[in-house]
Structure 1
C-alpha cells in the first residue's frame, strides 16, 4: 500500500457515501433517472415520457380499490404435478418467485369498492414468473368470478402475462376453457366483466379470458397479442406496421374499446360499473 493510499483512507471525508439502491428508478423507455418516491406517487408512470411501468398486485389493488377492501383466499393447488425440470426444478422456480413476492402465485383478487361501486378485482402480476397462467392462476380466476356471482357485483380483471405456464403443460392449457366457462356464467348472471389489458398481455391469456370481456380497456403503450411479432413476421413474410400489437393500434382497429391513462383508470372503471352493474338492494 502506497503512502498516498494510506493517507487517503485515513481521511474522515474520504469514505464513499452509501446510498440506498432503490433511491432512483430508470425509465425503460426514455432512460430518465426518476426519484423513486415521485415515480411511485405518480402511479409508476414516467413523469417525462408518460411510460406506464409494470406494477405488482398489491400496488394495483391499492390504486383501484377504495380503502377497506378484502383479499380473497389464495387457492391451494397441486404443485409440480408433472415433476417438471429444465435447468431448474419447477418447485425451485416457485420458491424463488415467492421469495420476492407476498403472494403464492401470479393472480390475486379482492372484494371491495371502486369509488363506491361494489366489485371483485383480480390482478395478474407479471413479476411472478411473467404472470404465467397455471392451475393456481386459473383456479384463482374462477374463484374470484364465483365470488362476483355470489356477491352480485361486477368482475374487473387486470391482465399482464407471458402466456401459459409451460412447466404445467396441458394442465396449464386447460385453464383456458375453465376461465372461459366462468366468463359465460358471469354473462348468464347479468354481471359486467371488464378487462384492463396491461403491459404485456400475451399468449394463452389473450386467447382466453383477456379478450372475453364486455368492455376492454388498455393502458397506454401496452403490448397485447397472442404470438410474438417475430413469429408473425416470419409466418406471413411481411413487414408489420409500426405500433403493431400496441394498445393504440388495437384501439384504432376495434379490438380495444378504450385506452385509459392510469390516473383515470379508477374513475373510468367506477363509471362503467355504475352503468353496467346491477343496483344494490336498499
Structure 2
C-alpha cells in the first residue's frame, strides 16, 4: 500500500514513528533507538549502533523529512524464503517492488527519510514492524543508510552523465557513473521500480568485459602483471575518484611501494585514457595478505 492509499491514521502513525527514531539517530542516541527496536533485531544491535554513530555527525544538524511511506502486509505469509510486495503507484503504470528474504509473518512499514541541508545529506531507510509484542506501535526492524550526493552531485546527474559517456562509446566512464548513480537513487537493494530497472539495464549494456569479478583483471605495467581485484568510485575527497585495488606480492619499503602504485596508475590511464575526463584522480590500494594496504591518491594532473 502506498502513502496515498493509507488512511490519515495509518500515515500519521508510521511517519511519527520514523521521525522519532530519526531524531534519536540525529542525537547519536543508539540506546533510545534500541529501546524501540523489535526484540530479534535488538538482540543483535551492534551493527545498527555502529551505523548510528557513523552517520550521527553527518545528520546532527540536518533537516529531516519523510519522503516515502509504504505499508507491507505479510500477516498471511506462509514462506519466508523470498517475500515480494507490489505497490502500484496511483495514476500510473509504475509499480514499486520490495523483495525481502527471510521475512517472518507480520505487518510492516517501509519509510524513506531524507536528512538534508548539511554537507553530506543522507537517505535513511527504515523497515518498521507493527505490534510485534502486542504494544500497538511501530518498532524498528531494519535500518539502512546511503548518501544522497557523491562529490556534490545527485544520482540523476550521474545517470545523465553516464548516458552521455555511453553515447561517446566511453564504456568505462559510463559503467562507473551508472554504478555511482545506483546507490544514490536506490535507497536499499531490495527495492526496485521501472526507473531503477531501466538504470540497471542501461548499465549492463555498457559493462566492460575485462572488469574484475570472480576472477581478477590482469593489468600489464613495467614488464609486470598486476591482479586487479576491485574497481569502484569514491567522492570523499571532494571530486569523484576511481578506486583500484590490486594484490601486491609482499611487503616493500614505502618508496618502492609508491613507485609500484604510480606504475599501476599510469598503466591504467594508458589503457583507458578516457578516465582522465570523468574522474578527479585515482586511488590505488596495494593489498598484501595479513598487512595494511599501501594506499595513494593522486589527481589526474599529477599522473604524467
Q: TM-score range by the shorter chain?
A: under 0.3
The TM-score with structure 2 as length reference comes to 0.23
Of Structure 1 and Structure 2, the greater strand share is in 2
Greater RCO (CA < 8 Å, at least 6 residues apart):
1
